[in-house]
Chain A
Amino acid sequence: DAKTTQPPSMDCAEGRAANLPCNHSTISGNEYVYWYRQIHSQGPQYIIHGLKNNETNEMASLIITEDRKSSTLILPHATLRDTAVYYCIVRGGGGSQGNLIFGKGTKLSVKP
């Protein structure tokens, strides 16, 4: 079973920040939070991952709560091309420690 809970869908206006929440209340100390997205009929695309500190890259920011039981993926200026299903996944941090198991994700619709 997926270890995360995400809202099934969200809307966001083009140019505004998209904040996608994820609950992972059973996360263990050595598990990372990963975010991927899947645009229709394509393979998933890696976005970002983190352990406990907030992370930022050219695509997004990841905010992890201090108790690590939830996180938020932030797309700072959403565009129409960001419309996709976003998956929040928890997984062990190294080597063969766990596989990426996908839940149902959040379908983000960016509207003009």
Chain B
Amino acid sequence: GAVVSQHPSWVICKSGTSVKIECRSLDFQATTMFWYRQFPKQSLMLMATSNEGSKATYEQGVEKDKFLINHASLTLSTLTVTSAHPEDSSFYICSARGGGAPYEQYFGPGTRLTVT
């Protein structure tokens, strides 16, 4: 299957600072990228969907001014957690889907964010 990478794989930041997570599709062009969040012992929760060159669409309850998503190219999307707080500590997973059939969706390895 196709490969999606994330960087960094883990990050520790202080409360009040911002952190950026990168998501890249390595061997295909991702028309649509997705960002999920997963708290311990819970399932993945979709945060937002973005199409290349367009503004992201956020799920209900996700603050768009806190979680900034940029999908500037067909191979790169970034998630910036602004003014992070300890409750933002979570496992963030990106996913990418190509523009043609069979529209399979592939996931990155995830980024563990800890806010102290």
Give chain A's interface residues, CB within 8 Å of chain B: 36, 38, 41-46, 49, 87, 93-96, 99-105
Contact = CB atoms under 8 A, between A and B. Distances in A.
Given A46-B106, A87-B43, 7 more contacts: A43-B4, A46-B1, A46-B104, A49-B102, A100-B34, A101-B46, A102-B43
Interface bin, chain B: 20 to 34
Q: Which DSSP category, helix, strand, loop or mixed, fits chain B's interface? A: strand
A104 B43 contact: yes
Interface stretch (B70-78, B81-89, B107-115): B107-115
Given A43-B110, A100-B95, A95 B103 contact: yes
Contacts, number: 52
25 contacts: A42-B110, A43-B6, A43-B93, A43-B109, A44-B44, A44-B95, A45-B1, A45-B107, A46-B104, A46-B105, A93-B103, A94-B101, A95-B103, A96-B32, A96-B51, A99-B49, A100-B34, A100-B46, A100-B95, A100-B105, A101-B46, A102-B45, A102-B46, A103-B43, A105-B43
